[in-house]
């Protein structure tokens, strides 16, 4: 799915600032902005970058429609001049984008996307770019953490009903798969993103029949290749007994109650009945802590349906992703800028930033954030995190299949976990640059 193409999907102040730049005659100065998040998310240190495809789709079709322009002309809180609206009407994406490919593991303060474009254009793109990357990355990160907790289990994303609107749900399904899930229940996501779709039955299916036995028998007769029975509608262990009596049983699903005790009791019943090949799936408000705890208790659960907690990124519903000016062109030269804060963590890095990832024997040594005008030299194997995506408005990046990004992500996460001493640093020249700018502001 592509992001809705409307260029109006932006904060209103971007438009009023763009007009002020235009009126002041500085709208066409080249500016460099970076997208990054300031804090690593809870529980672990890494973020899975996601949402770049959405950025690409959006920028490829970036334009204001006549209807958009009419709407802006109708507003009274900021008066848009006719000439500025003509400028907007003609505006297309003409800049450079360098970004971490989807599935990359990235860290706090590292740019995951850098844009170099005319100032007014950069400003208008702040909101849609952060919107595209922030939530996608949050869900992909959470999905990746689930995958790490249950490396060999089946992981199903079940969150559409509680997701944040239709495309909140679509983004969540896509990002969950990218982060390492096996399948989704979201049929439209299956169609749009070529993700395997899965499904069994709901309590209402059981309740639609007069009793559980009839419901199970009917379902199994009609779906002989997919006999996965939900056993907890009335009495879970009685449900397990009834499921055992059904031919071709493939799996049972537990959706409530004490999943540790119930899965153990169900496993015993199944094994005793000679059904050790029958799997046990669990669902029902599963979250990270719960899954970790059930793993610790060795609950014999083979597959997990994760809904609300994944699709809304419940435990941390947003990364604190920001978009900060690093440099602006003036008289043909880039002048470096930073946003200062009493809170040192919130003071941004100046420059035109890139990240060098140094590795040795497939282990990551460190990431170095640096300014590309003073490149980092190193003897270790090194790769730049940000890859060219757009150059002068032209797409130069060959989009990869989502399943390939998923493989890349799994590999990145494994490399990260295999690198216990890994750190993120700022290059010494960058630190000097920052300190000298801070000093200047103090004067």
Q: How far is the CB of 249 from a copy of itself (least distance, A)?
A: 16
Whole-angstrom distance, CA of residue 192 vs CA of residue 194: 6
Q: C-beta of 76: minimal distance to a copy of itself in Å? A: 9
- Contact region for a copy of itself (CB under 8 A) — 92-100, 140-148, 290-298, 331-339? 331-339
- Contact segment (CB under 8 A) with a copy of itself among 7-15, 108-116, 286-294, 365-373 equals 7-15
When binding is defined by CB under 8 A, the residue of 89, 162, 366, 417 that contacts a copy of itself is: 162
User: Site for a copy of itself (CB under 8 A): which residue of 187, 374, 411, 436?
Assistant: 187
**Contact pick of 42, 207, 418, 431 for a copy of itself (by CB under 8 A):** 207
Contact indicator for 108, 11 with CB cutoff of 8 Å: no
Helix/strand/coil for 353: strand
Quote the least distance from Cβ 333 to a copy of itself, whole Å.
Answer: 13
Surface-to-core class of residue 106, CB atoms within 10 Å of its CB (0-12 exposed, 13-18 middle, 19+ buried): buried
Beta-carbon contacts of 160 under 8 Å, excluding residues fewer than 6 positions away, are 169, 172, 173, 185, 186, 189, 311
Q: What angle do CA 152, 237, 235 make, to 5 degrees?
A: 120
137 in contact with a copy of itself (CB under 8 A): no
CA distances from 38 to 30, 111, 162, 229, 321 (A): 25, 10, 28, 45, 7
The smaller minimum CB distance to a copy of itself, of residues 239 and 412, is found at 239
- The structure tokens listed for 338 are 């930073």
Distance CA 64, CA 57 (A): 15
Interaction residues for a copy of itself, span 238-277 (CB under 8 A)? 256-257
Diameter over CA atoms, the chain: 82
Q: List binders of a copy of itself among 349-408 (CB under 8 A).
A: none
**Residues of this chain, 55-94, that bind a copy of itself according to CB under 8 A:** 68, 71-72, 75, 77-79
- Binding letters toward a copy of itself, positions 15-34, x by CB under 8 A: xxx-xxx-xx-x--x-x-x-
Report d(CA 433, CA 46) in Å as an integer: 27
Among 9, 108, 237, 292, binds a copy of itself (CB under 8 A): 9
Considering only 42, 261, 318, 380, the residue that binds a copy of itself (CB under 8 A) is: 318
């Amino acid at each position: 799915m592509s992001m809705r193409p409307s260029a109006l999907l932006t904060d209103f102040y971007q438009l009023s600032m763009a007009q002020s730049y235009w009126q002041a005659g500085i709208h066409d100065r080249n500016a460099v902005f970076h997208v990054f998040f300031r804090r690593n998310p809870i529980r672990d240190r890494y973020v899975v970058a996601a949402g770049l495809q959405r950025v690409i789709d959006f920028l490829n079709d970036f334009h204001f429609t006549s209807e958009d322009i009419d709407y802006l002309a109708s507003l009274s809180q900021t008066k848009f001049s006719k000439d500025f609206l003509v400028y907007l009407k003609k505006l297309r994406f003409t800049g450079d984008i360098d970004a971490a490919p989807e599935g990359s593991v990235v860290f706090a303060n590292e740019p995951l996307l850098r844009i170099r474009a005319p100032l007014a254009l950069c400003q208008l793109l702040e909101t849609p770019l952060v919107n595209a990357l922030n939530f996608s990355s949050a869900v992909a990160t959470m999905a990746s953490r689930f995958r790490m907790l249950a490396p060999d289990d089946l992981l199903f994303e079940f969150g559409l009903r509680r997701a944040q609107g239709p495309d909140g749900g679509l983004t969540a399904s896509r990002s969950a798969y990218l982060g390492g899930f096996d399948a989704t229940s979201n049929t439209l996501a299956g169609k749009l993103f070529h993700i395997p779709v899965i499904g069994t039955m709901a309590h209402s299916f059981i309740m639609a029949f007069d009793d559980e036995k009839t419901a199970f028998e009917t379902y199994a007769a009609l779906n002989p290749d997919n006999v996965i029975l939900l056993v907890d509608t009335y009495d879970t262990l009685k449900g397990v007994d009834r499921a055992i009596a059904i031919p071709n049983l493939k799996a049972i699903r537990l959706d409530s109650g004490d999943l540790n005790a119930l899965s153990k009791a169900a496993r015993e019943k199944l094994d005793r009945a000679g059904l050790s090949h029958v799997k046990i799936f669990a669902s029902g408000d599963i979250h990270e802590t719960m899954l970790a705890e059930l793993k610790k208790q060795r609950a014999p659960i083979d597959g997990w349906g994760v809904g609300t907690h994944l699709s809304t990124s419940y435990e941390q519903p947003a990364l604190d992703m920001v978009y900060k000016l690093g440099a602006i062109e003036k008289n043909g030269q880039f002048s470096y800028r930073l946003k200062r804060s009493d809170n040192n963590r919130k003071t941004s890095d100046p420059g035109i930033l890139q990240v060098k990832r140094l590795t040795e024997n497939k282990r990551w040594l460190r990431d170095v954030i640096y300014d590309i005008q003073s490149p980092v030299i190193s003897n270790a194997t090194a790769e730049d995190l940000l890859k060219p995506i757009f150059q002068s408005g032209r797409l130069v990046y060959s989009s990869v299949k989502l399943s390939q990004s998923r493989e890349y992500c799994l590999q990145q996460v494994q490399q990260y976990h295999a690198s216990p001493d890994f750190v993120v640093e700022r290059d010494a020249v960058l630190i000097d640059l920052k300190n000298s700018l801070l000093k200047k502001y103090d004067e």
